[in-house]
Each structure stands twice: as C-alpha cells, then as structure tokens.
Structure 1
C-alpha cells in the first residue's frame, strides 16, 4: 500500500461547495469572477447575489434533495444556476448537451428531475421528453437567464446542508443508451478534493483560469470552477473548444496553469503551428487529464510551448483527482503519488494480495474524495466500493520506489474517445438490431488524435452482404456524435467465455497485432 507524501489536511471542513463562493464574495466583492469570451464580466459579489436569486427562483419547484438537470453548453449563466440549485438544497445533474432524445430519456427516468436548465438549442429535446418525465415541473432557458435574475427583487439564503450526507451532484459515468450510472458526490467529497488539489499549488493566487472543460464533466464544474471560487480567481467560461481563442486568452488573463486533456492539447499545438498566439510568460504549466497523455504528445507539447506538462489521475468515482505529480518533481510518464490523505493499493486480481513495487495490479483508492456510491445502483456500488472504503478503479497500474503511479491499462471496458467515455455494450446493442449482423463486439483502437476510437468487430448473419459503410451509418444515426463507431471489421466469430461474456481482451490483442 502507498500513502500520500503530502502533509495531511485533516480535518476537512464540513461545509457545502458553495461556501467558497460565499467566502470569495465577502473577501473580494469587486474582483472579477465569471467572464465570457467576449469580455462581459461579473464580480464575485454579483455572481454570489445571482446564485442567491437563482436559489430563490427554484424554491417553488425544488425540495431539499430533488434533482436539477442541466443540458446546455458552458456559460456564465450555467455556473450561476448550478450554484443556485445547490443553495436550494438540490442535487445537480449536469448532462452532455449532445445526447439524443433516446439517450437522454433513461437519464431523466433515473434521475427524476423536478427542474431542467437548458439552452435554446437543447430545449426541444427536453420538451420532447416531458411527457415521459412526470417529475419535471419547470424548464429554464439559460440564454436569457441573467436578465431573469436581474428582474427578481432579491435572493434567498441557502438551505441548511449536511456536507457528508447531502448529495451535491450526480455525475454520469455513462451518459449513453442503456444503464447510465449517476456517481453520487457529496458536498464533503467535492470540498475535500478541492482542498487536496489546491495543496498541489497548481493555481497561484495571482493567476486567471480558462474553463473550457464541459460542465457535465467533474473536471469542469468541480475541479476548475471550484479552484477559481476557492482562490478568488477570475475564470473565463468558454462554451466550445476554440484553440486559437484559448491561446489568446491565456495571455490576456495571465493564466498560470492551462488545463487541457490530450485531444484538446493536440488542438492547441496545431493552432500554434498554424499561427495562433504563443503562450506568454505567465503560463508556466500544462495539466492534462481525462485521458492518458501519449509520450509523443508530451514531447511535442513541451517542445512547442516550452513549459512542463503534468499528468494527474482521477475518475468521477474519486470526485476528480486522486494522484498528481508534485510540481517540483514531475516524473514523465507517471501520474504522480496519491494526493493528501489518499491511500492506494495495487491488488493482484487473482490472489487479492497487494503486489510488490514494480508489479502490476488493479488500482484501489481510499480517501475523503471517494464517492458515496452509484445512484440507485446498489449492486454496481457493491462491486467497486468495499465496506472499508476502498474503491476499485478498474485501472491497472504499477508503483515505482517513490510511490509514483504509472497507469498500464484499463480493466474497465469503457472506451475513451477525446476524454469522453463510450460504452461498447451500448453500441453493440444498436448494431445487433441490424438484421444482417449475427454477433458483434466493440473494442478500442488506438488513435493519435482521439486517444481511442470505437472499432466494431462484426459477424455477418448467414447470407448477408458485408457493407462497412452501411453498418457504420446504421449505428451512427442512432447515437450522438461522441459515441460514433469510427471503424468496422468483419470476423468469423466473437470469442466468449463459457457464460457468454465477450473476451474483449483477445480481440484487442489481435487488433494490436494487426491480425483482425
């Protein structure tokens, strides 16, 4: 077992996540807080009052513990509504705005939200499903939400929150058709992980932040936004990834740390090579995340931008982060040691025993950031969350002699496409509805731009004709663009164990060997 080399931060404050916004508004009322890409700026005092007004607006439709769903791109209004919902005692459910109605419906049925926040683009999707969502009482459009808040007479004080017991957010571990799981994160989880990441010193007090990670990802609404509120830092909310704009704003707002998952980092490199502004002397560090950083990308980023790259590790079930490299001692290729007050084990899957230094095992994590469980999924919770608090991550790794973790592979079957999780079983279910397909397995294929892409291995039905383009079009018409099948091959049979489970690892090995 490896323990954290950092100083302990115990005891962690038992306060709601919005405590840090309240604190920033009291300490720095006139300091810029939320900024749009066009420069429209709201101070901490204005943001705090807007969140209180949003909370007041919601009181007639939201009881303590109700769910409030968000289906919209990033915006300053989104941030205010998110915190206002938590002040009203709600559990926020941020959802990928690209979900199709058939994909969103099971999410709504599971979460049973009483209120939805949408954009003008996503409102028709929610309205189309309203008849199937009897819990839904109100829909608010974020496009003009600031003017709605400005028209209200005043805000409301937050409801009393039990930091350990109240669920602040349900973060979807799989937002696709089938069985989406909501990761239950308490206010205590979010606050503890925020304190842990702040201890790394990634965001000094004189810096600005760019927040273009989607808010439906815990990295966006908790890690980055939380740091900005806790540190009293300005953050520019960017609705869609625009690499040239990001490089430009990094200089304008004196951004010290640029948070960028690997696919976005490739986009920044390409934009710089195409003539976009260079990073200024303010930017000292690039922190990747959401997916593994390939060695070639690490090299190229440091060469193009002339600053170090740091790879952390985390998962939604661990709030946002469990490991990070100390800034004074970054080890390339590793994700660093555990964060403060975080324990880790590498467990041999056959023996259940800890593996020695240098050996490979499944990463287990225990700490104050570990989730409360999966929403309404007791069986799934029991599979990964042990009674003594250990979380089985499903990732395979090894420790070096200093306790730095290197990720080797994933035991989980999720495919990481541009930092997003894609469930193979969901794509398989769609493909199997095609009459010409007898059997199918979807596996990850390495891709230099996306990290991984879904590759479908198809067994044809007797007498059927192989039509790669038609089969790809068939599935892609039925799922959102993030979950598209990007390649397809034909095989004689899908390997399965005696119980019928797909032996996906055998197909992955064949694909890597070029024998599919």
Structure 2
C-alpha cells in the first residue's frame, strides 16, 4: 500500500482498469469471461441505469444473488457512485430478507432469477425498484426505464475513504442479524494489506465457491483479485463433487477460498476410508512412522484433483479440525489459515502458505494491532481485541450494540477467546458466548470437545451444550456407513436404535479418555438431521440451546 493511494473502490478499480484492460476478469466456468475493459463498460452502464432510477449517493441498493460476474458489476456500480451496497445471503428466508430490506431502507434491489421467488409478494416500505441481475431488466418499478449497454453515467462522483461502502447483515451463530457498516477505507485497507499474506498477481486464477454476500468472499475473493488484474470463475450450479471436480480440471485454479467443512469432508469421507480398507493398511496408517507418508501420498492426489497448480488454498470462517490440519501439514498442501470477522472487513490474522502452525491462525495482519484483554494469569487466555483501519464504523441503526463492542479509543471486542504465543501467533479457543463455566469456575470450550468428537468414526458433525449442569453432546452420524457395517440395522428398527445407543456410549468413553476432567461428557444424544448453519457453514448454536 503506497502513501498516496486513495483507499476507495472506484479509485483502486480505476487503477486496475488502466493496467489490466485486456485481461480476463470474470465469468462462468465453461463460458467466455468478460475482460476488464468490458467490466468497466458494463459497470458504467449500470451506474447510468441507477442514475435514471434516481439512486443518489448514500442510498441503499441491495444484491440478492448467487455468484456471477454481474454480482461484481452491480457491486462496483453501486459503490462507485457513492451509494451503499447491501449484499443479502441467498440462504436467508423471505422473512429475513424482508426485515433486511426494511431495516436498511433499501431503494433498489438486484436479484437473480433463481432467488426471485424469495421476494414475491413482498410489501415494500422503501423499495422502489427490482432489477433482474442476470440482464439488468427492470422487473418491478418504473418500466419506462431500461438498461442500455454502452451508456455512460451523467454524473461525476467524489467518493471519500470514510464513506459507507456496504452494510452486511450477519448470519451469526447467536441469532439476530446485525447490519455491519464497512467504509471504503475498511475494505480497501484489507485488500491492500492482505498482499503481505496472500500475494495476488494478474496471472492468478480464482474459483469462487462461497457466497459473495459474505465479507470473506466479497473482500478476499472479489475485491482483491479485481484490484490486481486476476480472473475469477463462478459455477452456475452448487459446488457438488459432480460440478466442482470437472471445473477444477478445466480452469486449474491457483487460488481458492474455502471454509473448514470443505476439506474436513474430503479428509473424513475420502482419505480416511481409503486407508481403512483392510486391517494392515489401517494399522500402518495409525502409526506415527507411516501416517505422514500416507498423508503425503493422499495430499498429492488431492492436489491433482484441484487442478495441479494451486498456490493458495485459504481456509477461514471457522476453526479447522486439528486432525485435518495435521493431514494438510503432512501432505504439504498449499493451505493458509485466516482469522477475522465481518466487523473487521474481514481479516485480522493469517498465515502465509508454508508457515502454518497446528492450531494457530498466525500473526496479526500487517497494520493490525491485536491484544488479549484481561488474560488469565495462568493460561494467558482472554478476549481478543483488535484495532486497525479495517474495523467497522458500527452496526447500522444500532448505537447501543455498537457501543458494547467498540471502545472509545478504537478497540473492537471480537467476542472470541484466544491466546498469543511468544512468536505472536494467535490461537483461537472459542467464542466467549459459547464458553461454559464449570461447577468449580473452570472454563470449558465446547469447540475443543467437538473437535475430538468429530475425529471419531462415522461422526459427521457435533454440538456440545450444557443442560441442567451437565455437558451434553448432540451428534449427527453417517447412518449409511453404520448400516453398511451393521446389516441388521436396515431390517430391524429396534436393532438400529440399540446399535446407535451402544455406539454413542462408545463415543462418550472415547471422548472422555481424551479431554480434561472438567470437559467430561455426561451424555451423548443422536441428532437425526444436519445442524442448521450459517453462510460459512458454522452451526447456528442458538437454535439448540
């Protein structure tokens, strides 16, 4: 980041357009990508459309869409004219979407065809126009106005660094969505500073598999590559194996941003079963001598499956299972861990590829100050506080809640518990709100117990809670694997219940042999269906308390 740079999206995109005009910018896998010159032209034409719809600086314009080039076009058009983008997660319910549109005071909405049903019958308070993001047709509102390709905006816009760029409504694990206000400086600061962790060049190829409405993908997977002339590819269908694997072979990405669940599924569903096909192989894989070697072999195969030229595989949004991370270390897979929140645009700490340490998210990002507030004198653990130019302006129309997390001298209280080692590497223990205080005052971290549970065979995911003073684990199982192992489960319902109960008791003993005495499970119960999750695939814990 140079001292004379203006940290706004239109300023830095203007620089990118000048440098990379003929480069490919964005497109769907298997189709032609638009160039940076075409991206600029389309963005300016959408700006003209918004002008015709009487959108002015400071007005709120929402985007409800799956990932595509036109998502980026809409985002750039809105922010380049000083209006405020309100990205909405596709997984939100119609009621949640209505609440966001009303709370934000949205005047116009871009919506993709596959999500239009979520706003049908919506009674707007401030919404005047609905625009089909696929081709920029007006589908509701003034039908005398239309998108004209090649048109130019009539106005000129002076966007300041402290102007609001986006309001992102979180889909947190604790309930009510809050509108996080991020300025141009917040976003552009992160986009520039991350180059010390994830250096992006114009030859990079990104494959986007996460929602653009989440700040993780939005800043690191959209803004960062566009500022640096890279190309971003999107999928027309959800990234199931049958869709993802051919796409990986076709575009051979150099960069991907993911959440832990993606690699955890690959490891537990593909890698582990491979080494448990027979007793000899399973025994060898269980030894310290052979396990790293086998992991290295499996890692090479996975690397090839991802196209064979990955140089940055980012993992963030939640804590990575330590067994899976050890696999990645053994495999020498080009992964990097990041830590941050929507409120910090999002990155606070991260590791470069090749510098990862088991269980750590790495040091603070350049330009960010982290501290452990009121650390435990014995363990050094405490709440992580952060300060930097990427910390949000506050929660939209929520001054009281903003005051709870932002101190007068600029510290943001993350709500996460962590510890910093002698090398300034940060490790996350869990969420402060999730921490359980034991009967003798000891701190119990559910996430750490869950990581042990999730290592057990046939476990897909788990949630540890406290009920009536007892530690209880809810466990969602791979029933198909159990049925394959116990043939009688399919035929006899009573036998199935008996086998599951025996399995859960075995699991309880397994976990209790591996955790401290304060974290012992009193009960393990069967969760019959997957847990509901956020956009970054974290369990919505508040639904199960």
Normalising TM by the smaller chain, what interval? 0.7 to 0.9
Q: C-alpha separation between the residues in 2 aligned to 1:407 and 1:159?
A: 45
Distance 1:178 1:323, change over 3 A: closer
- Answering whether residue 124 of structure 2 is matched by residue 136 of structure 1, we say no
Deviation (angstroms), 1:85: 1.3
Q: Which residue of 2 aligns with 1:48?
A: 40
Which residue of 1 is the match for residue 417 of structure 2? Answer: 396
Q: How does 1:226-237 map to 2 (within 5 A)?
A: 226-237=223-234
Unaligned runs of 5+ in 1: 1-8, 349-353, 415-442, 459-508
Q: Which residue, 161, 178, 198 being the options, matches 1:164?
A: 161
Cα deviations across residues 62-120 of structure 1 (Å, max 9, x unaligned)?
11111111112111111111111112321111111222222222212210100011122
CA–CA separation in structure 2 for the residues paired with 1:222 and 1:301: 25
SS of corresponding position for 1:362: strand
Equivalent residues of 1:71, 1:116 under 8 A apart? yes
CA positional deviation for 1:143:
2.7
**Corresponding residue for residue 425 of structure 1:** none
Any idea what SS the aligned residue of 2:181 has? strand
Structure 2: any 5+ residue segments left out of the alignment?
139-144, 275-300, 436-445, 469-517, 526-545
Q: In the alignment, which residue of structure 2 is the partner of 1:223?
A: 220
Aligned mate of 1:117, from 104, 110, 130: 110
CA distance in 2, matches of 1:159, 1:513: 65
CA–CA distance in structure 1, aligned partners of residues 371 and 256 of structure 2: 30
Check the 8 A contact 2:217/2:257 in 1, yes or no.
Answer: no
2:339 aligned counterpart, secondary structure: coil
1:107 paired to 2:100: yes
Give 1:186 shift. 0.2
User: Cα–Cα, structure 1 residues 121 and 262, in superposed 2: closer, same or farther, change >3 Å?
Assistant: same
Residue of structure 1 equivalent to 2:195: 198
CA distance in 1, matches of 2:180, 2:427: 25
Provide the TM-score with structure 2 as the length reference: 0.70
Distance (whole Å) between structure 1 residues aligned to residue 126 and residue 76 of structure 2: 21
Output one character per residue of 1:448-468: Cα deviation in whole Å (capped at 9) or x when no partner. Answer: 48766597969xxxxxxxxxx
* 3-state SS, counterpart of residue 313 of structure 1: strand
Q: Distance in 1 between matches of 2:15 and 2:461?
A: 39
1:266 corresponds in structure 2 to 264
Residue 22 (structure 1) aligns with: 14
> CA distance change for structure 1 residues 203 and 152 in 2, over 3 Å: closer, same or farther?
closer
Shift of 1:293: 0.5
How do residues 305-320 of structure 1 correspond to structure 2 at under 5 angstroms?
A: 306-320=332-346
More helix by share: 2
Distance 1:122 1:18 in 2: 28
Whole-angstrom distance in 2 between the partners of 1:178 and 1:48: 39
Q: Is the 8 A contact 1:104 1:177 kept in 2?
A: no
Flag the structure with larger Rg: 2
- Alignment partner, residue 347 of structure 1: 373
> Separation in 1 of the partners of 2:362 and 2:429?
14
**CA deviation map 1:163-193 (0-9, x unaligned):** 3331101111237997421100000000001
Alignment of 1:57-96 (within 5 A): 57-59=49-51, 60-96=53-89
CA shift for structure 1 position 306: 4.6
Q: Does the residue aligned with 1:121 lie in a helix, a strand or coil?
A: helix
Once superposed, what is the RMSD of the aligned Cα atoms? 3.3
Aligned to 1:365: 386
Q: Is the 8 A contact 1:358 1:399 kept in 2?
A: no
Question: 1:515 Cα shift?
Answer: 7.2
Deviation at 1:332, TM superposition (A): 2.0
CA change 1:452–1:75 in 2 (3 A) is: farther
Superposed CA deviations along residues 449-492 of structure 1, whole A, max 9, x for unmatched, are 8766597969xxxxxxxxxxxxxxxxxxxxxxxxxxxxxxxxxx
Give the direction of change, closer, same or farther, for the CA distance of 1:158–1:177 in structure 2 (3 Å limit).
farther
Instruction: Say if 1:194 and 1:227, in contact at 8 Å, map to a contact too.
Output: yes
Match of 1:184 in 2: 181
Match of 1:406 among 408, 420, 427: 427
Is contact 1:185-1:372 (8 Å) kept?
yes
In structure 2, what is the Cα distance between the partners aligned to 1:454 and 1:512?
Answer: 9
Q: Note the C-alpha offset of 1:406.
A: 0.3
2:27 touches 2:68 (CA, 8 Å); kept in 1? no
- Please state how far the C-alpha of 1:249 moved relative to its aligned partner: 3.6
- The whole-number CA distance in structure 2 between the counterparts of 1:185 and 1:249 is 33
Larger mean CA deviation between 33-42 and 325-334 belongs to 325-334
CA deviation vs aligned residue, 1:235-276 (integer Å, no higher than 9, x gap):
102353234544444454342232211112234557876998
Q: Which digits, 9 at most, give the CA deviation of each residue in 1:29-72, with x for residues without a partner?
A: 11111021222210010011111111110112311111111112
Which of 148, 152, 155 pairs up with 2:152?
155
User: SS of the residue aligned with 2:347?
Assistant: coil
Distance of aligned partners of 1:17 and 1:510 in 2 relative to their CA distance in 1, 3 Å threshold: same
The alignment partner of 1:402 has SS state of coil
Distance 1:291 1:157, change over 3 A: farther
Q: 1:405 to 1:208 in 2, by over 3 A?
A: same
**CA–CA distance in structure 2, aligned partners of residues 232 and 334 of structure 1:** 31
Take 2:466 and 2:115, find their aligned partners in 1: how far apart are those partners? 30
